[in-house]
Chains A and B, each alone.
Chain A
Amino acid sequence: MNDRAKNSDDHLLAANVVRAVDVKKVFKLGGEEVHALRGCTLSIKRGEYISIMGPSGSGKTTFFNMIGGLDKPNYGQVFIDEVDIASLDAFELAWLRCHKIGYIFQTFNLIPVQSALENVMLPMLFSGMPEADAQDKAADLLQKVGLGHRLLNKPTQLSGGQQQRVAVARALANDPAILLADEPTGNLDLKTGEEIIEMLSGLKDDFGVTVITATHDHKMLSVSDRVIYLVDGRIDRIQRREDLRITVGTIEEGH
């Protein structure tokens, strides 16, 4: 009974995996103040697939970095798993990035000197996992993303799509709560991009991770639970999946 109560309590606490409260960010560019974010509030639930869209200069990247624990706001708070990231020191932040967040980049960002297997092992070694265990788990993850036959290949010996698959496996290494993907299809062709999107959406269901992407890619919209549109440093509108189909339809008709 006690246990159950505790569990449901934990569950409630964990319901919002990311919470941004009135986040503001000002950059100084050549003596001039640039308001990248003018107060954004957003809660993201565990297991959601969120796309952040917006033209360049809209603060999309800044907001994305903020909720990924890569940047700190000037004003307001960002909670990841209900922990205010501003309260963390360098060691705790590194731990958070290592254990709670999996990063996927537009430019794949594999370590060029390491094999696919070693790349996926790296975050596990950082987390203190013994090498043999890390190796087994990395091989398993690469198998899951369909690269079981290319474990020992270096990134340069892999295609773009394959590199991004390795990056996805690496992002999953420490069973993160959040997958943070910055334009994950930006450097891929249409078909490969679709495969990656499909994979990310599948991971959401299989691993229960929360996927947050910053994107221009309209293919991304159909798998998103919510799409956040940023304009001029503010959240302009949020579209839910139910409303999305229609919108995508009109966009396609318009072309």
Chain B
Amino acid sequence: MNKENTILDDNRHRKKIGRQVQLPVSNAIKIAWQNIRVRLGRSLLVTSGIILAISFLSYILCSDAIAKNIAGKANQHQIEQLQRDGKLTINSEDAKTQTRWMVGLALLVSFVGVLNSMLLSVTERFREIGTMKCLGALDKLVVELFLFESMFQGLVGTSLGIIMGLSLALGEGSLTYGSAMTGLVPVVGIIKRVGICLLAGTLLTVFGALYPAWLAARMEPISAMRLEV
């Protein structure tokens, strides 16, 4: 430490350079919401991707739960009747694997969709992010903005997807099994599977937004001065 530094520290103490405080989360949520509303078109596109993937997942899971419940709990007469009509078949291992692959792919495609749209969002908003940093925004706020934006899309997409998939599974079940399904809807099983879908939807959107949000937070305030990408 040389003399100059000591004087400096002294001054610094007197001047009281403060430490920037974090903007309340409610403000971050509000700004993220405004961002979504303005870019509604693209936002809906991403959301519809999530809806499709999650509804596929929840349809597969729930209809499987319904079929298993009926096979296990319906009375002998009903099961024989359904088997005779070819309506109650236990899927082979091969078919199950195939379905798993398809669900996995659907989730992956929707994950890439989220990632892509958030990356696009970050690159087209470089000046906005730089400006916010010039005005005193901390890295954490920038991360929050992008995560919240993605989470809104995820929340809407996942909920709608679950509703769609579940109603499809229930509708198809009642058409196929008819009266055999009365009183045999596996409520607990379905709630469990809905939970799995919620988790999948959340992970999908949060992980899809994590890298873009990190990129945005690392952006220097000086990028506000840049004229083009």
A residues touching B (Cβ–Cβ < 8 Å)? 13, 61, 65, 70-71, 81-84, 87-88, 90-92, 94-99, 101, 103, 105-107, 109, 111-114, 122-123, 125-128, 170, 174, 182
Is A109 in contact with B8, judged by CB distance below 8 angstroms?
no
Residue B133 at the A interface, CB < 8 A? yes
Would you call A97 and B133 a contact (CB within 8 A)?
Answer: yes
Known interface pairs A83-B8, A103-B134. Does A111 touch B19 (Cβ–Cβ under 8 Å)? no
Contact string, B205-229, partner A, CB cutoff 8 A, digits 1/0? 0000000000000001110110100
CA distance A88 to B222 in the complex (A): 17
Residue numbers in A under 8 Å from B5 (CB-CB): 87
Q: Known contacts A91-B138, A113-B34; is A128 also within 8 Å of B21 by CB?
A: yes
A112 touches B128 (CB 8 A): yes
Question: Could you list some 27 contacts between A and B, CB below 8 A?
Answer: A13-B14, A70-B134, A70-B225, A81-B15, A83-B11, A83-B12, A87-B5, A87-B8, A87-B12, A90-B139, A92-B19, A92-B20, A94-B138, A95-B17, A95-B19, A95-B136, A97-B134, A97-B135, A97-B221, A103-B135, A103-B224, A105-B131, A113-B34, A113-B37, A113-B38, A126-B20, A126-B135
Contact across chains for B136 and A107 when beta carbons are under 8 A apart: no
**Could you tell me if B225 and A65 are in contact, using CB atoms closer than 8 angstroms?**
yes
Query: Given the complex of chains A and B, what is the CA–CA distance between A113 and B225 in angstroms?
Result: 19
Asked whether B11 lies within 8 Å of A107 as measured between CB atoms, the reply is no
Given contacts A83-B11, A128-B21, contact A98 B136 (CB under 8 A): yes
Q: Which residues from chain B contact A174 at a C-beta distance below 8 Å?
A: 136
List, in ascending order, chain A residues with CB within 8 A of B128's CB: 109, 111-112
A111 to B127, CA, bound (A): 9
A13-B11, A92-B17 known; A105-B224 Cβ under 8 A: yes
Q: Could you list 8 further interchain pairs (A-B, Cβ under 8 angstroms) beyond the known A87-B5, A94-B133, A113-B31?
A: A70-B221, A83-B15, A84-B8, A87-B8, A87-B12, A95-B136, A99-B136, A103-B134
CA distance in complex: A177, B73 (Å): 77
* Contact among B17, B35, B37, B130 for A96, CB-based, below 8 A: B17
- B113-156 CB contact bits vs A (8 Å, 1 = yes)? 00000000000000110111111111100000000000000000
Give complex CA distance A96, B5 in Å: 19
Please state if A125 and B15 are interface contacts (CB–CB under 8 Å): no
The docked-state distance in angstroms from the alpha carbon of A45 to that of B21 is 29
The answer to whether A122 and B135 have CB atoms under 8 Å apart is: yes
Which of B130, B133, B134, B137 has its CB near the most chain A CB atoms (within 10 A)? B134
Give the nearest-CB partner of A13 in chain B: B11
- The answer to whether B135 touches A98 (Cβ under 8 A) is yes
User: Is B138's CB under 8 angstroms from A123's CB?
Assistant: no
A127 near B136 with CB under 8 A, answer yes
CA distance A98 to B137 in the complex (A): 8
User: How far apart sit A91 and B136, CA to CA, in the bound complex (Å)?
Assistant: 9
Contact partners of B127 in chain A: CB under 8 A: 107, 109
Chain A residues in 8 Å Cβ range of B139 = 90
Complex alpha-carbon distance, A109 and B126, angstroms? 11
Is B187 close to A, CB under 8 A? no
A168 to chain B, nearest CB (A): 14
Bound complex: CA A184 to CA B37 (Å): 30
CA A84 to CA B138, docked complex, whole Å: 20
**Are A61's CB and B225's CB within 8 A?**
yes
Residue numbers in B under 8 Å from A98 (CB-CB): 20, 135-136
Q: B155: shortest Cβ distance to chain A, in Å? A: 20
Contact present for A91 and B225 (CB under 8 Å)? no
- A170: chain B residues within 8 A (beta carbon): 135
Those of B78-129 within 8 Å (CB) of chain A? 127-128
